[in-house]
């Protein structure tokens, strides 16, 4: 058996180091495949991950008001491809439950103008942004639920997390029949990229080999909003370090897509892309 029994009395830090050494040794010897090694590493990292880091942010939540007619609810589910839909009263900060698409089957054939039956709206799970994902996973399993609503310190809706989101943190991206492939980064040429503003800022750092300052943001859009102190407008151009960033799509609430150009190459020479 590859994993030997670890000695008692070791600190958590030392125990993790020993297991990491075993993973490295197993990968080098071929006992553990690269995919298995990455999965084990993801499980370790999950222990330090909190809900805020992997949640679907408030701005991206697909939800429906409780007074929406049955026909519009069905249309929304079919268009968005979600099998679970948060239901709210008046505003997204007042989520009252979660609708499962399968619970609509007994009402098939009813008038599309009928109201959504309240009795099929399931009680939601609310958890704080700071909740550890491993603890949330245990809670979802205990409650036999697939979705949790993430709330901020004021009790407002910050985002949501599904069981699939957590599993993807361990095993990688999961695609089902409803998923549509999205390219968050599209290369235009060697120095120019079209970037979805939802892209994690660390991925842009890896691509461009550049470090962005620490801040209260996780996405490219969040970085630009933090940098300017507002939501930049379409066609606005922002220079940062050796980058020229043009806002391609935005509204009054958020940035959607930007163009990122490198003005200087790895040798420090102008790329001529300004």
Which domains are seen in the chain, by residue range? 53-171 (3.10.580.10), 185-262 (3.30.465.10)
DSSP state letters, 117-158:
PGGGPBPPPEEETTSBHHHHHHHHHHHT-SEEEEE-TTS-EE
Confidence check: pLDDT of 42 > 50:
yes
pLDDT of residue 178: 45
Question: For residue 101, what is the DSSP state?
Answer: G
0.75 exceeded by the pTM? no
Choice among 10-24, 60-74, 178-192, 195-209 with the minimum mean pLDDT: 10-24
Q: What is the pLDDT of residues 132-166, one digit of tens each?
A: 988 898 899 899 899 999 999 889 999 999 988 88
Highest mean pLDDT range out of 171-185, 233-247, 250-264? Answer: 233-247
**In the numeric block, which tokens belong to residue 47?**
């222990």
User: Are 264 and 240 in contact, with CB atoms under 8 Å apart?
Assistant: no
pLDDT category of residue 6 using cuts at 50, 70 and 90: very low
What is the percentage of the chain residues whose pLDDT exceeds 70? Answer: 74
Name the one residue in this structure whose structure tokens are 């008038």: 111
User: What is the overall mean pLDDT for the chain?
Assistant: 81
Distance CA 39, CA 175 (A): 17
User: Are the CB atoms for 81 and 178 separated by under 8 Å?
Assistant: yes
Spatial distance between the Cα atoms of 166 and 81, rounded to a whole number of angstroms? 19
Structure token digits, residue 57: 């942010």
What is the DSSP annotation of 164-198?
A: HHHHHHHH-----TT-----SEEEEETTEEEEETT
3 state SS of 177:
coil
Give dist(CA 122, CA 87) in Å, integer.
9
pLDDT score of 48: 77
- Residue 12, token pair as written in the block: 């958590």
pLDDT attached to residue 265: 66
Q: Is residue 2 scored above 90 in pLDDT?
A: no
Residue 47 confidence (pLDDT): 67
3-state SS class at 89? coil
With H, G, I as helix, E, B as strand and everything else as coil, classify residue 240: strand
How remote is the C-alpha of 30 from its chain's centroid?
33
Question: What pLDDT score was predicted for residue 264?
Answer: 75
pLDDT exceeds 60 at position 38: yes
Most confident of 22-26, 131-135, 267-271: 131-135
Q: Which of 107, 82, 221, 234 is nearest to 160 (CA)?
A: 82
Higher pLDDT, 154 or 174: 154
- By the 8 A CB rule, do 145 and 86 touch? no
Largest CA distance in the chain: 68
Distance CA 80, CA 178 (A): 8
Task: Report which of 193, 231, 225, 230 is spatially closest to residue 212, judged by C-alpha positions.
Answer: 225
């Amino acid at each position: 058996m590859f994993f030997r029994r670890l000695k008692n009395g070791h600190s958590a830090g030392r125990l993790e180091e020993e297991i990491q050494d075993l993973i490295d040794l197993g990968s080098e010897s071929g006992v553990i495949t690269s995919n298995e090694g990455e999965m084990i590493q993801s499980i370790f990292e999950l222990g330090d991950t909190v809900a805020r880091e992997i949640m679907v942010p408030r701005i991206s939540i697909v939800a429906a008001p409780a007074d929406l007619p049955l026909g519009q609810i069905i249309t929304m589910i079919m268009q968005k491809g979600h099998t679970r839909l948060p239901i709210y009263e008046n505003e997204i900060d007042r989520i009252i439950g979660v609708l499962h698409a399968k619970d609509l089957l007994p009402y098939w054939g009813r008038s599309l103008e009928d109201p959504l039956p309240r009795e099929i709206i399931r009680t939601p799970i609310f958890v704080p942004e700071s909740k550890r994902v491993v603890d949330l996973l245990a809670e979802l399993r205990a409650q036999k639920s697939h979705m949790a609503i993430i709330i901020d310190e004021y009790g407002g809706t910050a985002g949501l997390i599904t069981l699939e989101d957590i599993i993807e943190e361990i095993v990688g991206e999961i695609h089902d029949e409803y998923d549509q492939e999205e390219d968050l980064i599209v290369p235009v040429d060697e120095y120019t990229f079209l970037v979805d503003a939802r892209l994690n800022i660390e991925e842009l750092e890896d691509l461009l080999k550049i470090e962005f300052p620490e801040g209260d943001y996780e996405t490219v859009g969040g970085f630009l909003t933090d940098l300017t102190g507002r939501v930049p407008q379409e066609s606005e151009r922002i220079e940062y370090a050796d980058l020229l960033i043009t806002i391609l799509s935005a509204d009054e609430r958020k940035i959607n897509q930007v163009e990122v150009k490198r003005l200087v190459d790895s040798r420090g020479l102008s790329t001529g892309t300004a």
